[in-house]
Amino acid sequence: MDKARKIRLAKRYTSRTVVYLGATLLAIFFIFPLVWMIVTSTKTEMQYANDLGSFATFLPNFSDLSTFFGNYVSVLTQYDIWKYGLNSLAYAAAVVVGNILINALAGYVMAKFTFPGKGFISFIIMFLLIVPVETTIIPLYSIVHNLGISGTVLAVILPALVSVFNIFLFQQFFTNIPKEYIEAAQLDGASQLKIFLIVMIPLSAPIVATVATFAFIGVWNDYIWPTMVLPSPQPGEWPLYPIQAALTTIQSIDGVTTGEVMASLVVTSIPIFLVYVFAQKHIVEGIGAGGLKL
């Protein structure tokens, strides 16, 4: 091996090491609060207080394995958190499917069709994207009540089916799919709906994964609206509240320990994390895919 090559290899090796080192430090920076959350969830209040200020605060409770899952046991058995979790899963499933079909259809039309009034509709979409929506919960409550669906799961699902941002994302994505695909299908005599379902949706797997993930996260993390329109749990009946309601209940109880709160945070965060890990490959391709235009 000649010297020059050796130096080149050594250089490459050091630069790689630097990159890995930097990337690892950054990774610690981004996940240490989450690691701390998981670690703390295994501790009793005393262990938590004693470990603060030393490195042990970042280590799980290995000293007393009998209490390792104690917080999880108390959170899962005392508060029926799994029932609320199943509710959230059901809401999320309905919302994800509906959200994709409805918004993709709208995005597809906005991207690929020319029709009178399109300019006006895109203006409305942009406008709805900008308005702060925090105060609209008051009129929304009245509307839902007047529709007669308050107190039912429809009050949670229907408003969540449509999302301006998702229409916008789909529109961006479909704009970049060449017209030839559609034209070829049209020559085969396919209807517009068939083209949408058989050609466009499969082509848009990445964006579908993206929207699905974020729709899921949105439903999973929603709290104020569902608890406002759904009846609260009755003893002996299956509750309708979503998982975040259980989380708030746990946090609102006086005397709940830090470890219990952390355990409930871990339990409620796991499903979204799993969904993300499964979908993340597609998400990367999905969001930008060849350029977004405003």
Partner 1 sequence: MKKKLCTLLSGVLALSLGATLFGCGEGPGGGDEPTVDESGNTIIKIMVHVAQQSPEGMAYNRITDEFNASQTAKDNKIRVRVNYNPRSTTGTGYETELGNMLNQGTLPDIVTFDAPNTWSYAEAGILADVSELISEETQNDFFEISKNTYEGGLFGLPIQESSAGIYYNKAIFRNAGLLGRVENMTADNAWTVAEFEDICNSLKGRCDLPVDLQLYKAADETATYLLYPFILAQGGTFLSEDGMTATGYLNSPFTVAAFQKIRNWVDSGYTSYDASDVGFYTGKYAMYLSSGWSIPEIRNKYREQLGDDWGILPYPKGGANQAASATGSWSFGMTTQCRATEQAALVLEWLVSTESSVSITDATGMIPARQSAITVKNYTPGSPEFLLYDQLNKTGKTRPGTIAYPEFSSAFRGIVNDMRNSGNVSSIVSTKTTELQGNLDRYQR
Partner 2 sequence: MVGISIAIIGAFLLLLGGFIVKDIVVAKRAANKYVHYTVRGTVTSYLMLLPALLLLCVFVFLPIVYSLGYAFTDYYLLRPGDMKFVGFDNFVQIFKNFSMHGNVYNATMNTLKFVVFVVPLQIGMALGLALLVNKPIRGMGVYKVFYFAPVVISLTVTSFLWVRILGGGDTGLLNSFLVQLGMDPVSFLYDPQGSMYWIIFISAWQGCGYQMLIFLSGLKGIDQTLYEAAELDGASKGRQFLAVTLPGIRSVLTFVIVTVFIGACKIMVQPMLMTGEQSFTITLNYLMYIEGYTYRWVGYSSAIALLMTIVIGAITFVQRYLLKEED
Closest CA to 167 of 105, 107, 97, 111: 107
Alpha carbon of 83 to those of 51, 87, 89, 178: distances in Å? 34, 6, 10, 46
State the binding partner of 148 from partner 2, partner 1, none, CB within 5 to 8 A by kind.
Answer: partner 1
**Cα 200 from Cα 214, distance rounded (Å):** 20
- Please report, as residue ranges, which positions from 79 to 138 form the binding site for partner 2 (by CB under 8 A): 101-103, 105-106, 108-110, 113-121, 124, 126-138
Q: Does 60 bind partner 2 (CB under 8 A)?
A: no
Q: Does 78 bind partner 1 (CB under 8 A)?
A: yes
Binding residues with partner 1: total (CB under 8 A): 41
Select 11 or 194, whichever has its Cβ closest to partner 1: 194
Among 232, 277, 291, 293, binds partner 1 (CB under 8 A): 232
Select 233 or 288, whichever has its Cβ closest to partner 1: 233
Alpha carbon of 269 to those of 28, 55, 243: distances in Å? 19, 25, 10
The single residue listed with the structure tokens 């009998």 is 66
- Please report, as residue ranges, which positions from 22 to 41 form the binding site for partner 2 (by CB under 8 A): 22-24, 26-27, 29-31, 33-34, 36-37
Select 67 or 248, whichever has its Cβ closest to partner 1: 248
**Cα 286 from Cα 288, distance rounded (Å):** 6
* Residue numbers at the binding site for partner 1 (CB under 8 A): 45, 49, 78-79, 101-102, 138, 141-142, 145-152, 154, 158, 190-194, 223-224, 227-228, 231-235, 248-255
